[in-house]
Amino acid sequence: MKKIFIVLAIFTALQFGCTKLDTVLYDRVPPTDFVADPVLKMSPIYAPMRDFLDWGGWWFANELTADGSTGPTRASDWDDGGKWRVLHQHTWDNNTEAINSMWSRFFNGVIEANKFIEEQIPLGDAPEVLIAIAKAKVLRAYYYYLLIDNYKDVPYVTDYIEAPQNPKRNFRKDIFDRITIEIAEEAPIIPASNSKTGVTKGFAYSLLARLYLNAEVYTGTAQWAKAEQYADSVILLDQYSLEADPVKPFVTDNSNSPENIFVIPYDEDKYQGFNLHMRTLHYNSNLTFNMTAGPWNGFAAMYDHYNSYEEGDKRKEGYFLVGQQYEADGTTPIIDQGAGGANLIFDPYIPALNMDASYTAVEIRMSGARVKKFEIKNGAKENLSNDFPLFRYADVLLMKAEAMIRQGQNGDEYINPVRVRAGVEPFNNATLDDLLAERGREFFWEAIRRGDLIRFGKFNQSWWEKGVSSPDRNTFPIPQWAIDANPKLAEAPEPIQ
C-alpha cells in the first residue's frame, strides 16, 4: 500500500479516533450486494457514509452553512469554541472540525473503491464481476462528486497498489469530466434493482442528474439538457414515486419508501449515527416522546425559513415543533425548571445567534422552531432507526423542472406534484425563484441547500446573523492536517494525466 493511504489512515485515526470506521456497513444489507452474490463484498466502500450526519461533518457543513438551519449558542451551551457559528457566518478556516472531518471520510471511500476494483479485475469478465466493478466505480464517482463539490480541486487517484505517494490536486473540471463519463459507461451494466442501500441504476442516473445540474458551477459551462436527460432516465425506470404524505419518506420504518432512491440505513442499536433529534430537541422533549435519553437543546430552523411555508402546508406542521409542548399524553404541559418553571413553549423567533447572559432563560432555552422532520418514535433512543435519503424521487422531479425552466420551458408539471401533496396551491408558470424557494422548503434538513444556493448564485448573500460573504466561501479549504501530511496539496492544481 502506498504512502497516501498510510498517511490518510494515520491521520483519520489520530484526528477522529473517537469515531469507529467500521469495515462492515449495513445491518440491513442489500441482498443483491452482499448475500446472493458473495463476490460483491463492497461494504467497506459504503462505510464512510455512516458518519455523514455526525462526526463525518458533511451534514453540518452543508446544512448549517445555508439559510434554513442554525446552531445558536445558548448561554453556556453550544458554544463549542464557535465551531457552529463559523459555519453559519461563513468564517470557517482549514482547521474547522466539520471541514477537517469530511476530507478523510470521502477519501476513505475512494481508497476502498480503488482497492475493491483492483481485487475484482483479476477474477475475469463474468457478469457478476463486471457488475461489481461497475457499482464500485459509481460509488467512487459519488465520493469524487462530494470532494469536488466541497473542496473544488482535489487529487484524482484511481489506483490502489500503484497510487502516487503524494498526489497533487487536479482541476475540478477534469474530475467532473472523468466521473460523468465513467458513470454513464457503467450505469447500463448495473441492474435496476429496488434496493435502497446499494448502487442501482436509479442511483447512478440520479447522481448524473445532480452532477449535470451543477455543471456550470463545476466546469463553467451549463449542461441543462443533460441534467434533464438523466432526470428522465430515473423517471422512465418507473420504479419510484412520491409518497402521498410529505413526511412519509422520513418515518422510522421508511426502508421501503417508493420515494427514496438511495439511503443510509441507520439503526438505533446496530447501525448508529443518526442523532440529529438529540441536537435539536429541548432537554425535556424526552417527555414528549418517552425517550430513553435526554436531548441536548441546540439546532433550530431560522425564523425566516420557518415562515417561508404557507399556512396549510403539511410540511410546516410535519417538520417542526412550535408552541406549547406536552408530555406523551398530549395534555400535560411540559415545565422547564431551568427557565424558572415556565411552560416549555417553542417560539420560532431566535433573538440572536449568540445568546449570552443578557438574554432571558426563556429566550435562551426555548427559542427556535425545533425539527421533527424525521419521525421521532415513541421510546426513541439517542440514535434513530430512520433511513436518511441521499437521493429521493422528489429531488429528481424538481431537478427535471429546474432544467426545463433554465431551457425556457415550463416546469410546472414536475414541481406541482410536490406542492399539491403538501396541500398548497400549484404554481402557474413557476420561475427559478419559485423553484429555489420550493426546494428550500422540500429539502430542509437534508443537507442539500448549500449546493442549491451556490448554483443559484445566492450562497454569498446576507441573511439572519450572516453578512455578505466572498465567492471563495463556495468551497471549503483543504484541511491543514492533510496539507501537513502532503505539502503538494498546497500547490496549484494540474490537469489529469
- CB distance 300 to 368 below 8 Å: yes
Half-sphere exposure of 366 (CA within 13 A, CB side): 22
The dihedrals phi and psi of 346, each to the nearest 5 degrees, come to -80, 120
Position 41 scores a pLDDT of 83
Q: Report pTM.
A: 0.93
- CB distance 139 to 46 below 8 Å: yes
List, by residue range, all CATH 1.25.40.10 domains of the chain.
Answer: 191-251+391-446
Position 37 scores a pLDDT of 42
CA distance 35 to 37: 5
| Angle CA 418–288–245, to nearest 5 | 15
Grid coordinates given for 140: 467512487
In sequence order, the β-bridge partners of residue 389 are: 263
Position 57 scores a pLDDT of 97
Q: What is the dihedral of CA 147, 151, 153, 154, to 10 degrees?
A: -50
215 CB contacts (<8 Å, ≥6 apart)? 176, 221, 222, 223, 226, 227
| Average pLDDT per consecutive 10 residues, the chain (497 residues; last block may be shorter) | 40 33 35 38 94 96 98 97 98 97 98 96 93 97 98 98 96 98 98 95 98 98 98 98 98 98 98 98 98 97 98 98 98 98 98 97 98 98 98 99 98 98 98 98 98 98 98 98 98 96
- CB distance 333 to 284 below 8 Å: no
The CATH number of domain 191-251+391-446 is 1.25.40.10: yes
Cβ-count burial 258-278 (b if 16+ within 10 Å, e if not): bbbbbbbbbbbeebbbbbbbb
DSSP letter for each residue of 10-69 = HHHHHHTTTS---S---SS--HHHHTS-TT---HHHHGGGGGTTTTT-HHHHHHTTSSSE
- CB distance 141 to 466 below 8 Å: no
Position 8 scores a pLDDT of 44
